[in-house]
Structure 1
Amino acid sequence: MLLNLRYVNLIITVFSLLGFGMVYPEGKQVTSNAKLRYDYAEKAQASPNNNSQLEIEKLNQEAIQQSQQKRFPEALQRLQKALDITREFGERSWEAVTFNNIGRVYQSQGQYSQALKSYQQALVIDKEIGDAVRLGKTYSNIGYLFDIQNKPELAIFFYKHCLINREKARLNPSALSLPQPDAYSITVAQTYRILAERLLKQERVAEAQRTMDLLKVEELEEYLQNVPGNQRTAKGIEIVTREKPIKQKLEQTLAQAILLGKELTTLRKISPQKRSPQQEQRIEQLVLTQQQQLEAFNKFITSPAVTAQVEQISRTARQQNLDLESLNQVRDNLARLPQKSALLYPLILKDSLELVLVTPESPPIHRTVAVTSKNLSQTIVAFRQALKNPSRNLKTPARQLYDWLIKPIENDLKLSGTQTLIYAPDDQLRYIPITALFDGKWLVERFSVNHITSASLSNLNTPNQSSLRVLAGAFTKGNYQIKVGNRQFAFAGLPFAGREVESLAEVVPETKKLLDDAFSPKVTVPQMDDYTIVHLATHAAFVMGKPEDSFILFGNGDRVNLRDVATWSLPNVDLVVLSACETGLGSSLGNGEEILGFGYQMQKTGAKAAIASLWAVDDGGTQALMSAFYATLPSGKLTKAEALRQAQISLITGDWKVSHNKSTAVSDFSHPYYWAPFILIGNGL
């Protein structure tokens, strides 16, 4: 495609985003990796023979900066120069990148037809070279283009193709971690979130549930990187019946364009000086034919017949008669659990909270709650602050959160007979325990709660080992200073941790104790997989930032960070307990990715589940809860999730029994500060 700069529109089109609450990026374009920066001098030194690629990168980067400054003609000139270089040196991947950026410049001016043509040129190249990652991102650009034109059905169709290609690529996770150039309107995670939002707006709840599930996998990828998919994630999302004619036409168009593109590439490898008149004529013919094919597809998808077809999609999909294999797998998982269980997905949007509930017997249930993300965040912060102070009354925010998160689905839970909530929290909801929501009773008095990272990555039905064997480590004395980035943390020994381990050993005779200096990574980690439960009565911190910033402190002062945890091999371990964790350190809450990352890393070790705390608890209260938990667990009559629930209820009611309870500084542990922070992540059986 050649750019005709005479037709560049210098008038900036200010368009209204008629969305469903999603905040789109403003002022700057978003890359797939916000930390990515290009250092051209360093690259030139490392690759002295790659000057053409460096020049293409530089021209693209400068063009985007000029576009952001509304200097559109200069931006297009640079991109045309970059395009010429890509063709001269056969840089096909960068040719696609450049076409994406040309599309973004046209899009910024409101020249949507020109933008679509450029994105399609990128699509053809990405498809030809088989780059599923960039292909998915180009589909996202096209989806976004239709979204800002208020064409939600077409936006959904192309966003889905981003998801489909991304999930295929996830089977080779190293490809997802490669640096990506700035050539895309929104991040992949934003694409998933917007797609879920658009689907929910159309009451296409089964498809939205699938998208929300895979969003959590993508969030893990953004935080940890190299998160592998599996056969369940690789299935992506279903293209529904009324979308299939568009898909068939798209695939046919791309296949034809790729055939022309391959011939075109071969001819362009011949230098212009050496081409014959016939070859020049053939190049012109191929370019024209390819453009005509893409234009024909554009006319097809905007034709009255197809427009009427896609407008029928939402009405058909609302009937929930989709044959979504992934949804059926989730339902089957739920149906085989010993307690009646339901899967709850909240999705936080700018102007609403969306709730999706999946039960074994019915189609996914969707409820919209009219609360802004700002108000929800303020209530979460107020609730968490009250939870962490046992002298404060927290029932006001606890009731409000109950009204937002549980009351809209209260009747659905009752009708389904739900006993266990399998919970996949979103964003800042990861920092609070829903067990402490209140409506006259604490939620824990009604339901067991089992957190998961993603249903697509979780096996909820693997049974436990028949007998309990515990490896218990404790940090009881000493002081350690830990520096993470520019922050300094001071950790003192936990006097009650020793008693916690002693109480555990009394209940489970097959318990091996490691205290203080003997409780080191070198001694502890190699032994873990010989036991069914690994209990670590020590400090752990899940810190916003990088996975390397979050850590578990051992009794000898050594620490293991979140990335190191993933190297552990614990396929025989049913449960890892960290009884003195802290999350949300710092002046403000993030999006909880460090908690999501911890759950996934523990899962990656092969351990079936983990118990961790959302804030550091009075260690006398921790001892009381853990003693109550282990007093119930060995019977084998209760699941881990139900045993934790019963232990928490025993602290509420005062029925907990600890032989040395008179030694505790506090005897009343009924405030949620003591029992609510402990959450179970993973397989709750």
Structure 2
Amino acid sequence: YERSLAIREKALGPEHPDVATSLNNLAELFRATGDYARARPLFERSLANMEKALGPEHPNVATSLNNLAALFDDTGDYARARPLYERSLAIREKALGPEHPDVADSLNDLAALFYITGDYARARPLYERSLAIREKALGPEHPSLAYILAGLAATNAAGGELDTALPMLHRAIAVATPERLDALLQAEDALRRVHARAGHPELAILWGKRAVNTMQARRAGVAGLERETQRLFVESNRGTYTALADLLVAQGRIEEAQVVLQMLKEHELRDGFLRSDAKDPRSTRIELTGLERSSFARFYELREQQAALGAERRALEIKRKLGAASATDLARLEEITTRLFPELQAAMVGFLGSLNERVLAQRRPGQEVTNVKATATRLRRAVLELARSEPDSAAVGLQYYAMDDRLSIILTTPGAPPLAREVPISRQRLNEQVTRLRVLLNTAGASADERPLKQVLAELYAAMVAPIRADLEAAGARTLMVAAYDVLRYVPVAALTDGTRYLVEDFAVVSFSDSAFQLPGDSSAPEWRVAGLGLTQPIEAEGLSALPQVRAELQGILQQPGIQGQPWLDQQFNRDRLSAVLTAQRFNVLHIASHFVFTAGRPDASRLYLGDRSPLSLAEVAAQDMRFDGFDLVTFSACESAIGGGRDSHGQEMESLGAKVQNQGAQAVMATLWKVYDESTAKFMQEFYRLRAQPGTNKAEALRATQLEFIQGKVRRSSAKAYTHVYFWAPFVLMGNWR
């Protein structure tokens, strides 16, 4: 698209209608993948070109209007979208006539706007008229009918007419050929919503799984696009995954929900930073239970037949267009089009119509779901392994994910099935609390009044810990492995408080990533040999201040009993030195004290500054396949490490850093959640390494003990004032093998 646009602009001039077409095509790609910021100016320029070259009443202008309206529609700006849709419809009716297929498109899009804004009375007649036009022009079996049928069915369901909605959705599934993934996804997700509304959770889950697997296949189609475009695509479709997980949790099918959440986490982080990893989560699928597989067997048979006939029909149509089709070929094409395809679609509709009764009859109240083929998640395997190899740690897993109207918490313990707790707090409220917390910590820092800070931490404790506190105590938990989703990844869980005690005073708290392929393994190396790399100078172009305490930080670490190693500062810390350290096999800990700046979803722009002040991007780390094999811990004691930020940031950049370094060989990673104070961080790191060097102390215990010393006022500033403020001790996050 970009090359086509460049050629046309150069050959035809920037205002030619063909240039407008190229602009529109590129904008459509960005819109389809959720990259609205890049799509909008292209749509607007395309519209302006069309109006100037062809006049305001031309059908091509209507197309540009419709596409720009769709962008506003996608972003929730319905007030701007509606007049554009209405103008597009008026132009098309006048220029093309009221029965033209393009008029049906405008009617469908305007109907969808009314549906999403709750105006079902206006949406329904527009959908019905659009469907009638399409059926008359293209026939009742055309794949494009799937979109209209799904929209009309959803409108009827919203109005309480479930009996009419289901046959329409069954027909939508039948006419949507396998390559029409968008249409399939829309119809499958609509069936999930309709059955959930009708009180049929088994069928809602079945269609939710179908929708997730269709999304998996659809994601493969954007695999070659820019990482930011892929990230936005996943972000705009995350509801497909979370809605299924929510249904599964509500039915007590916690382990299946955990598999879905692991898939979502893998997608978020791969499309942000992990794209070079060999294992591609786009190939994974959510498994059906035994009952679901047996119920759906006929569906897959019909789908395979439909796919085979579709491929044969496309090949015959190409031969016909090239004038190479024989009489036998033409007869076969006619047979497929007029008899075989309609028969298959009728069989599909009949099967789906009987599916409801069969599934509901098979799933009686109290009957357990069996034969789930999905393997245990990495979190589950980690909890079980730690119960065997290090029972004294009493490790449990905690997963947090927010729905629109509630927070779901999943607790994984070694001696029982996972359990779930649901908290009636909205995603919006959680986002507001986390945003307020981040503002307090990132703007005021240590000067922030601790009263409003503790208030937010107490509110988050009430939502995230209080509902499962009794469960943790019943399980005898001592170590919490936290896997959070969305903005909850920014929460310093160790600092959550009930008003009297911080959580870390009762538990060691570590971070667990579903996308890191390594699990907590053997105990870490008995003696640490540390390669210390640091930057003390400012990066003026970035506005990054000097880090004068880095020298003392590295020297203090290397002076601790039981710690050996060597430091390299400033000009000594360059690319060659980093490469030599990674390959020397002399060290088992890499400690980097420098600025690490994140840009959400942009590994090419997320960068570590080396001692010679040159940037090293995460994209380069991936492209050069920098290996961290043999390192028990990689510490980013960095001014800006793991903080990211921005409107579209959901904490995935912090988790991606840890997962990326682990997947390239490291056992564990330590980073920070916000901009840290140079002097206190130096003291924190020295104390952490000192405590870890003591016999029998693992990384998680050393981290907790260091945090407790800060809380208790045992570590003081040069001014003799203690570092008790949350800002000083809570940003440190330990990811991976904490043993």
- Structures share fold, TM-score greater than 0.5: yes
> Are 1:594 and 2:653 counterparts?
yes
Structure 1: distance between partners of 2:284 and 2:526: 35
* 1:362 aligned counterpart, secondary structure: coil
Residue 526 of structure 1: how far off its partner (Å): 2.9
User: In 1, are the aligned partners of 2:145 and 2:175 still within 8 Å (CA)?
Assistant: no
Structure 2: which amino acid aligns with 1:505? L
Residue 472 of structure 1: how far off its partner (Å): 0.5
Higher helix content, 1 or 2:
2
User: In 2, are the aligned partners of 1:156 and 1:198 still within 8 Å (CA)?
Assistant: yes
Residue 217 of structure 1: how far off its partner (Å): 0.7
> Are 1:307 and 2:360 counterparts?
no
* 1:571 aligned counterpart, secondary structure: coil
Given the two structures, how large is their TM-score scaled by the length of structure 1?
Answer: 0.77
Residue 638 of structure 2 is aligned with which of 571, 574, 580?
580
Check 1:259–1:590 CA distance in 2 against 1; reply closer, same or farther (3 A cut): closer
Check 1:293–1:593 CA distance in 2 against 1; reply closer, same or farther (3 A cut): same
Q: Which structure exhibits the higher relative contact order, with contacts defined as CA atoms closer than 8 Å and separated by 6 or more residues?
A: 1
Structure 2: distance between partners of 1:556 and 1:596: 27
Residue 580 of structure 1: how far off its partner (Å): 2.5
Structure 2: distance between partners of 1:438 and 1:405: 10
User: In 1, are the aligned partners of 2:446 and 2:728 still within 8 Å (CA)?
Assistant: no
Check 1:680–1:186 CA distance in 2 against 1; reply closer, same or farther (3 A cut): closer
> Are 1:603 and 2:662 counterparts?
yes
- Could you report, residue by residue, the CA deviation over 1:126-183 in whole angstroms, capped at 9, with x for unpaired residues? 7xxxxxxx5xx665333222134345544532432354466689999956879999xx
Q: 409-418 vs 234-243, which deviates more? A: 234-243
Aligned residue pairs: how many? 601
> Are 1:161 and 2:219 counterparts?
no
> Are 1:450 and 2:520 counterparts?
no
Structure 2: distance between partners of 1:667 and 1:281: 91
Q: 646-655 vs 389-398, which deviates more? A: 389-398
Check 1:684–1:669 CA distance in 2 against 1; reply closer, same or farther (3 A cut): same
User: In 1, are the aligned partners of 2:639 and 2:678 still within 8 Å (CA)?
Assistant: no
Residue 282 of structure 1: how far off its partner (Å): 4.1
- Could you report, residue by residue, the CA deviation over 1:498-541 in whole angstroms, capped at 9, with x for unpaired residues? 11111111015421111122122332233134321111112212
> Are 1:513 and 2:562 counterparts?
no
Aligned to 1:675: 729
Check 1:328–1:170 CA distance in 2 against 1; reply closer, same or farther (3 A cut): same
Check 1:352–1:469 CA distance in 2 against 1; reply closer, same or farther (3 A cut): same
> Are 1:389 and 2:446 counterparts?
yes
Q: 100-109 vs 401-410, which deviates more? A: 100-109
* 1:374 aligned counterpart, secondary structure: helix
User: In 1, are the aligned partners of 2:150 and 2:190 still within 8 Å (CA)?
Assistant: yes
Structure 2: distance between partners of 1:502 and 1:186: 43
* 1:342 aligned counterpart, secondary structure: strand
Structure 1: distance between partners of 2:695 and 2:62: 65
Structure 2: which amino acid aligns with 1:452? F
Aligned to 1:206: 255
Note the 1:416-455 alignment, pairs <5 A: 416-439=475-498, 440-454=500-514
> Are 1:546 and 2:594 counterparts?
no
Structure 2: distance between partners of 1:185 and 1:144: 16
* 1:239 aligned counterpart, secondary structure: coil
> Are 1:286 and 2:343 counterparts?
no
Structure 2: distance between partners of 1:278 and 1:641: 73
> Are 1:254 and 2:303 counterparts?
yes
Aligned to 2:397: 343
Aligned to 2:272: 223
Aligned to 2:687: 628
Structure 1: distance between partners of 2:102 and 2:204: 26
Residue 329 of structure 1: how far off its partner (Å): 6.0
User: In 2, are the aligned partners of 1:300 and 1:306 still within 8 Å (CA)?
Assistant: no
Structure 1: distance between partners of 2:208 and 2:421: 23
* 1:590 aligned counterpart, secondary structure: coil
Check 1:417–1:541 CA distance in 2 against 1; reply closer, same or farther (3 A cut): same
Structure 2: distance between partners of 1:159 and 1:323: 15
User: In 2, are the aligned partners of 1:267 and 1:279 still within 8 Å (CA)?
Assistant: yes
User: In 2, are the aligned partners of 1:581 and 1:612 still within 8 Å (CA)?
Assistant: no
Residue 34 of structure 1: how far off its partner (Å): 2.8
Structure 1: distance between partners of 2:142 and 2:225: 21
* 2:421 aligned counterpart, secondary structure: strand
User: In 1, are the aligned partners of 2:644 and 2:651 still within 8 Å (CA)?
Assistant: no
Aligned to 1:13: none
Unaligned residue ranges in structure 1 (runs of 5+): 1-27, 41-57, 81-94, 127-133, 483-488
Residue 403 of structure 1: how far off its partner (Å): 1.0
Aligned to 1:31: 32
User: In 1, are the aligned partners of 2:274 and 2:656 still within 8 Å (CA)?
Assistant: no
> Are 1:145 and 2:203 counterparts?
no
Check 1:632–1:225 CA distance in 2 against 1; reply closer, same or farther (3 A cut): closer
Note the 1:61-100 alignment, pairs <5 A: 69=85, 71=89
- Could you report, residue by residue, the CA deviation over 1:68-93 in whole angstroms, capped at 9, with x for unpaired residues? 7374965557989xxxxxxxxxxxxx
Check 1:267–1:623 CA distance in 2 against 1; reply closer, same or farther (3 A cut): closer
Aligned to 2:8: none
Check 1:627–1:125 CA distance in 2 against 1; reply closer, same or farther (3 A cut): closer
Residue 525 of structure 2 is aligned with which of 457, 462, 465?
465
* 1:343 aligned counterpart, secondary structure: strand
Aligned to 2:557: 504
Structure 2: distance between partners of 1:59 and 1:592: 40
Structure 2: distance between partners of 1:640 and 1:499: 22
Structure 2: which amino acid aligns with 1:406? V
- Could you report, residue by residue, the CA deviation over 1:106-129 in whole angstroms, capped at 9, with x for unpaired residues? 434448656654554444347xxx
Residue 194 of structure 1 is aligned with which of 240, 243, 246?
243
User: In 1, are the aligned partners of 2:639 and 2:677 still within 8 Å (CA)?
Assistant: no
Aligned to 1:533: 589
* 2:178 aligned counterpart, secondary structure: helix
- The percent of aligned pairs where both chains have the same amino acid is 23
Structure 2: which amino acid aligns with 1:491? L
Structure 2: which amino acid aligns with 1:351? D
Structure 2: which amino acid aligns with 1:389? A
- Could you report, residue by residue, the CA deviation over 1:302-361 in whole angstroms, capped at 9, with x for unpaired residues? 32x6335248659568x4655455227643421222222111111111111111111122
Structure 2: which amino acid aligns with 1:104? Y
Structure 1: distance between partners of 2:236 and 2:217: 17
User: In 2, are the aligned partners of 1:574 and 1:609 still within 8 Å (CA)?
Assistant: yes
* 1:160 aligned counterpart, secondary structure: helix
Check 1:122–1:525 CA distance in 2 against 1; reply closer, same or farther (3 A cut): farther
* 2:638 aligned counterpart, secondary structure: strand
Residue 219 of structure 1: how far off its partner (Å): 1.0
Check 1:78–1:374 CA distance in 2 against 1; reply closer, same or farther (3 A cut): closer
Aligned to 1:103: 146
